[in-house]
């Protein structure tokens, strides 16, 4: 199986922490040069770059808010000026602003949609400008099982993540003839800073609902990203892969 990503340039949005960090380090371990995008946490992004370079890989960090068109244009201009190409885009950046719907503010709804969904649109559009010219590329969108099953208090997050699934399928149909694949991954509950805050009793109830009996790890998601970015996955597009230990079964 070909998982060698040598001479590939990858961009991971929100790549400084959690799932994004695992994706960046895994792609780099497979040989890709990784550009790590971050919005505000320069320290985490720099630490991820240092981890990759210490292991013999190549990486750099670029600050940009993916919800802003001007920032996205600057991000891609800097990347292409440095490397001249983009082979892999991983749309991972995301935020939460959880609140019951009746109490949710317009600002909290818009903020989540702008980063989690509009950011995917802006980055994908920018990536396709160079990928279509080269007639090659891999786009991998990080969604969530919440976009499939919903979750109380996360109407904004669920709407954004569900939107990513439709966006993935539509984009895959549009640009498949250019040898560009577009797929989505919907993680379940993954061991990150966010899930570390779950109360012990709620955590036990959650684990009881997961057939595999554990939360996932960022590496579980990163391994699938690496596969979808590799030559071995060249005939897979428009799909959503659920990585959730069996929490959601259709």
Q: Which residues make beta-bridge pairs with 89?
A: 11, 139
Confidence of residue 3 (pLDDT cuts 50, 70, 90): confident
* Distance between CA atoms of residues 60 and 53, nearest Å: 9
CA–CA distances in Å: residue 64 to residues 115, 198, 216: 11, 30, 28
Confidence of residue 2 (pLDDT cuts 50, 70, 90): low
- Compute the average pLDDT of residues 167-184: 98
Which pLDDT score, from 0 to 100, does residue 198 have?
Answer: 80
- Residue 250 reports pLDDT greater than 60: no
Which pLDDT score, from 0 to 100, does residue 194 have?
Answer: 74
CA–CA distances in Å: residue 62 to residues 76, 133, 222: 10, 24, 20
Which pLDDT score, from 0 to 100, does residue 215 have?
Answer: 94
The per-residue pLDDT for range 66-99, each reduced to its tens digit, is 999 999 999 999 999 999 999 999 999 999 999 9
Report the chain's mean pLDDT, rounded to a whole number.
95
Which pLDDT score, from 0 to 100, does residue 1 have?
Answer: 65
The residues that are catalytic are 157
Cα 19–Cα 20–Cα 21 angle in degrees, nearest 5: 90
Confidence of residue 142 (pLDDT cuts 50, 70, 90): very high
Which pLDDT score, from 0 to 100, does residue 151 have?
Answer: 93
The per-residue pLDDT for range 5-35, each reduced to its tens digit, is 999 999 999 999 999 999 999 999 999 999 9
The per-residue pLDDT for range 177-221, each reduced to its tens digit, is 999 999 999 999 999 877 777 888 888 988 999 999 999 999 999
Q: Which residues make beta-bridge pairs with 243?
A: 187
Q: Which residues make beta-bridge pairs with 62?
A: 37
- Compute the average pLDDT of residues 36-54: 97
Q: How far apart are the first and last CA of the chain?
A: 29
Which pLDDT score, from 0 to 100, does residue 41 have?
Answer: 94
């Amino acid at each position: 199986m070909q998982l060698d990503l040598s001479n590939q340039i990858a961009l991971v949005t929100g790549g400084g922490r959690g799932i994004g960090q695992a994706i960046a380090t895994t792609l780099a371990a497979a040989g890709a040069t990784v550009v790590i995008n971050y919005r505000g946490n320069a320290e985490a992004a720099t630490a991820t770059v240092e981890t990759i370079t210490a292991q013999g890989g190549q990486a750099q960090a670029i600050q940009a808010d993916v919800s802003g068109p001007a920032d996205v244009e600057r991000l891609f201009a800097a990347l292409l000026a440095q490397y001249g190409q983009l082979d892999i885009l991983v749309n991972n950046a995301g935020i939460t602003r959880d609140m019951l719907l009746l109490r949710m503010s317009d600002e909290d709804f818009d903020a989540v949609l702008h980063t989690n969904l509009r950011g995917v649109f802006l980055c994908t559009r920018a990536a396709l400008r160079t990928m279509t010219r080269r007639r090659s590329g891999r786009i991998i969108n990080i969604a969530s099982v919440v976009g499939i099953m919903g979750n109380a208090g996360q109407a904004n997050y669920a709407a954004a993540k569900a939107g990513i699934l439709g966006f993935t399928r539509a984009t895959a149909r549009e640009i498949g003839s250019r040898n560009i694949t577009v797929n989505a991954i919907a993680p379940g509950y993954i061991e990150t800073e966010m899930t570390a805050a779950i109360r012990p009793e709620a955590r036990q109830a959650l684990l009881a609902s997961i057939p595999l009996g554990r939360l996932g790890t960022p590496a579980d998601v990163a391994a699938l990203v690496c596969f979808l970015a590799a030559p071995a996955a060249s005939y897979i597009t428009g799909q959503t892969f659920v990585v959730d230990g069996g929490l959601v079964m259709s």
